[in-house]
Structure 1
Amino acid sequence: MGDSTNIKVGPLDSMLEHNGAYGPYGGAYIPPVLEGQLKKLADFFDEEVKTDDFKNEFIRILKQYVGRPSPLYYAKNLSDYVGSKIYLKREDLNHTGSHKINNCIGQILLAKKMGAKEIIAETGAGQHGVATATASAILGIPCKVFMGEIDVERQALNVRRMRLLGAEVIPTNLGSRTLKDAVDAALGYYIQNPESFYLLGSHVGPHPYPRMVGYFQSVIGNEARQQILAEEGKLPKHIFAAVGGGSNAIGLFSGFLADDEVEIHGAEGGGEGIYPNTAATLSFGKPAVFQGTMSYCLVDDEGNPIPSKSIAAGLDYPGISPQHAHMKDSGRAKYYPVTDAEAVEAYKLLSRLEGITPAIESSHAVALAMKVLKNKGELAIVNVSGRGDKDVEREM
């Protein structure tokens, strides 16, 4: 099945409604020092990805180096346990162990063509940091990765991997010392060093980042759509993905947005299940400008961002993709908080039933699918966005 799946991205026109806006969300709320740089990046991206040379090189690396297409695996044991037919989109089998490598290869190809001498990035769970370090190594560009001190501790294995790959890992003690603060630190460095190329890892931030990330991650949904039609001869009734910033979810969802019969479900980091001890931005947040874009954000009574809390470092973020915000408001997708305890149980269960240990981030999507699909007898796809090696040594 994998060899017959066509690896493709886009189409680009499906990513946006107008000039970086997803309904009332999106845009670029940035210091003047970055306006010219991001306008140059937006224009270069829009022109470059239309060329056959760029698309062919991107797809060649995805196929020969990353290992795409990733399989769509029928999880029979899980299906029998839940009472619905569940397929897993195996992004955990990509080189580096997650979906993050798709976007990193695409953006670093752009950086090379723009003549960038340095890559900077942020990471929470470390998967984006590892993917950035990996892509920087293969394409020959130095990189710096910013990471909150708490995440450096709880994702120590990935920190070691990044350093082995040649990246400079820069811990930050700002704020809550998690993903939000890593983004702040990386943006601060970028403002001081605008000649660097900032490789933003999720579907957040100012235009053109959501547009670019959505485009590069669309390979997930394009593949999954072809694969489920080849296996079942029909589209799924449900699709599920974990939502932190939103990139793996947008990647899967993009392949089915036009299919009204496909119900779209996003699993947020519900933390302890009590606001504000949560990272469930779409469930408990409000529209606000945060880190360069207008979207939902967890805020206090004065509208200031507040720390998020989740067992999953990759979901531990108070903001959200502007496209997810628009999909929530329009009703095209539904988003639910999944507690730490529910995610841990799904983490253990999938390991025992299928011999697949998902990232604790992906476990949120598995947990939500188990709840929604219980004894429904319906067809579904769950995006396993990353593998769980990084989480095994933690207290579960």
Structure 2
Amino acid sequence: MSDNGFFDRFGGKYVAEVLRRPLDELEVAFKKAMADPVFLDEFRTIQRDYIGRETPLYFAPTATRILGGAKIYIKLEGLANTGAHKINNAIGQCLLAKYMGKKRIIAETGAGQHGLATAAACAKLGLDCTVYMGEVDVRRQQPNVASMEMYGAKVHAVTSGSRTLKDAVNEAMRDWAANPDTTHYVLGSALGPAPFPDIVREFQSVIGREVEAQCAERGIKPTALIACCGGGSNSIGFFAPFIDKKEPRLIAVEAGGIGPGVGENASRMTGNASREGIMQGYKSRFLLDEDGQALPTRSISAGLDYCGIGPQLAALGMSGRVEFTSALDSEALDALKFFARNEGILFAMESSHAGAEAIKLAPKLSKDDVIIVNMSGRGDKDVFITSPVFRRKEWLEFLHAEIDRLESDKDVHE
């Protein structure tokens, strides 16, 4: 847990007075819920029967053989309901909001998986749902937008700023500030003002606790855990039970984008434009210019292009407990294809960054070593991103055919 909202010098609650009361109220309610047998029993039942926990820990024999060196295991969070780890936190916060008497939920989303998970959780629990999503992300994540709307959520395309996740967070915070009595903001990553980093880590730590138990059951001693890292919800949840131990190595993989230049990546810990700063209610490391303004980011994965990182991960990176690296867009695409072709597992573009690091690391280790990769989500959602890369001609033909079909249907209905 944080020390009064801080992890070393990172974290805090840097918000306008109007948000202090709902944040304090949330912190009290969260601590009460974590000690409430009724809440915990309902939550665990939902985890089992609705999310589908526990998720498998899969040994990847072909990848292990091809790469040589360490054995590779994959934590299949993509098999959770809604296709990613995001449901762990979304259902926890929505249930908490219901216990608090809130009837309306708002959320921000980048890749769309958090928005999708929140929309699904609200549909299950009977809560009104509004999702803020950058206009750029709306365009490249249409399958998730369609699914959110199918669950009954209202999706607002944010047209300000860079029109990505940072701007979606800003809009969600404004909404919450205007409607604190009826509304709960389900923040999707382990960042933002306290107590959100503690809440999200706690709800996502089920990933790491399952891995720990699954390893003990099979007699596996992992050498390294690898997770992609944007804001950090899947990585901090994956790492949580191991943070205070000396082993295994904890490796977080940021978005290397197309290169090291400003605006070419989203590397907050390894990039050359990273600075400490305060933004969106918390202190951490961000990609900032000399005036403290957020710099543009770039990543093929919509879920990794946020300009900041969760405060606990920032502290763990500075202390050396978590090792930070990055993967280029091209390396993530290669990893996506590698695991799809050799293991029949379709990684999300975000998770493919972790897969890319496993491909680099495994041959450097011995056959007695074990790498566990957190496949935080499935790649189904990325069809609009990957199809133009892997099958551009066929994708263009499909889109043109769909336009012609829709135009024909329009003429018929008119």
Counterpart of 2:211 in structure 1 is 224
Instruction: Could you list the structure 1 runs, at least 4 aligned residues long, displaced by more than 4 angstroms after superposition.
Output: none
Counterpart of 2:327 in structure 1 is 338
User: How many residues are aligned here?
Assistant: 380
Q: Which runs of 5+ in 1 are unaligned?
A: 1-14
Q: Aligned-pair distance for 1:261? A: 2.4
Root-mean-square deviation (CA, aligned residues, Å) is: 0.9
Give the Cα–Cα distance (whole angstroms) in 2 for the partners of residues 100 and 72 of structure 1. Answer: 18
Amino acid aligned to 1:112: K
Give the Cα–Cα distance (whole angstroms) in 2 for the partners of residues 323 and 369 of structure 1. Answer: 23
Q: Select the residue among 54, 77, 86 that pairs with 1:91.
A: 77
Is structure 2 residue 155 aligned with structure 1 residue 169? yes
Give the Cα–Cα distance (whole angstroms) in 1 for the partners of residues 58 and 27 of structure 2. Answer: 36
Counterpart of 2:359 in structure 1 is 370
Amino acid aligned to 1:223: E
Is structure 2 residue 130 aligned with structure 1 residue 139? no
Q: TM-score scaled by structure 1?
A: 0.94
Q: Aligned-pair distance for 1:259? A: 2.4
Q: Select the residue among 283, 299, 307 that pairs with 2:270.
A: 283
Is structure 2 residue 137 aligned with structure 1 residue 151? yes
Give the Cα–Cα distance (whole angstroms) in 2 for the partners of residues 165 and 81 of structure 1. Answer: 42
Of 247-256 and 298-307, the range deviating more from structure 2: 298-307
Describe the SS at the equivalent of 2:259: strand
1:303-350 deviations in Å (ceiling 9; x for gaps): 221121111000010010001100011110111121111101101111
Contact 2:252–2:323 (CA<8 Å) still a contact in 1?
Answer: yes
Is structure 2 residue 340 aligned with structure 1 residue 351? yes
Give the Cα–Cα distance (whole angstroms) in 1 for the partners of residues 180 and 41 of structure 2. Answer: 29
Give the Cα–Cα distance (whole angstroms) in 1 for the partners of residues 344 and 195 of structure 2. Answer: 39
Of 130-139 and 252-261, the range deviating more from structure 2: 252-261
- Alignment map for 1:374-393 (pairs within 5 Å): 374-377=363-366, 378-393=369-384
Q: Aligned-pair distance for 1:375? A: 4.3
Is structure 2 residue 193 aligned with structure 1 residue 202? no
Give the Cα–Cα distance (whole angstroms) in 1 for the partners of residues 130 and 220 of structure 2. Answer: 44
Describe the SS at the equivalent of 1:280: coil
Give the Cα–Cα distance (whole angstroms) in 2 for the partners of residues 184 and 78 of structure 1. Answer: 41
Of 160-169 and 367-376, the range deviating more from structure 2: 367-376
1:65-117 deviations in Å (ceiling 9; x for gaps): 11000000001111112222011000000000000000011101110011112
Of 46-55 and 205-214, the range deviating more from structure 2: 46-55
- Alignment map for 1:97-136 (pairs within 5 Å): 97-136=83-122
Describe the SS at the equivalent of 2:155: strand
Q: Which runs of 5+ in 2 are unaligned?
A: 390-414
Contact 1:222–1:255 (CA<8 Å) still a contact in 2?
Answer: yes
Give the Cα–Cα distance (whole angstroms) in 2 for the partners of residues 111 and 257 of structure 1. Answer: 29
Rg larger for: 2
Describe the SS at the equivalent of 2:242: coil
Counterpart of 2:23 in structure 1 is 38
Give the Cα–Cα distance (whole angstroms) in 1 for the partners of residues 321 and 292 of structure 2. Answer: 27
Amino acid aligned to 2:65: D
